[in-house]
Structure 1
Amino acid sequence: MQEPTLEATISAAASKATYTGAGTSVMGWALSSEFTILIGLLVAVGGFFVNWYYRHKEDKRQQAEHDRRMGLYE
C-alpha cells in the first residue's frame, strides 16, 4: 500500500474513533458510569491526536507538492 493511501486510511479510522469515543462518553454520562465516560474521553482524545498528526503530515506533503509545481512555472 502506498504511504498516502495508508495515511488516509489511518486518518479516517482515527476520525471514526474520535466520534465513537465521544459517543461512548455521552452514553456513559447518560448511564452515570464514570468508567465509561473516562474510556470514551480517552478514545476520543487519542483519535483526535492521531487524526491531527496524519492530517498535519498530509498538509505538509501537499504544500511541498504545491511549492514544487509553482517552481516549475517560474
Structure 2
Amino acid sequence: MNEIDGAIWRKSTRSNNGGNCVEIADNLIDANGLVYVRDSKDRTGPVLSFAPAEWRAFVGGVSNGELTG
C-alpha cells in the first residue's frame, strides 16, 4: 500500500529537512480508525498503520525519552 485515498501527509514542525523524517496522516482517524506513517524519502514505499491508542503510546514514549537509542 503506497497511497491512501484522502490522506493528508505532514512532517513534524521540528523536522530539519535533513532527510531522516517520517510523515503521518492522521486526518482519516474517523473514517478508517487508523494513523498512517511513511518514510518522507520514499513516498511511494510502504505505509505503516496504527490504531490511535498505539500512536499515542508511541508519541508519549518518544516524548518521555523511553525510546532513545
TM-score (norm 2): 0.29
Choose between structure 1 and 2: higher helix proportion. Answer: 1
Structure number with greater CO (CA < 8 Å, separation at least 6) is: 1
TM-score (norm 1): 0.27
Choose between structure 1 and 2: higher strand proportion. Answer: 2
Return the index of the structure with the highest Cα Rg: 1
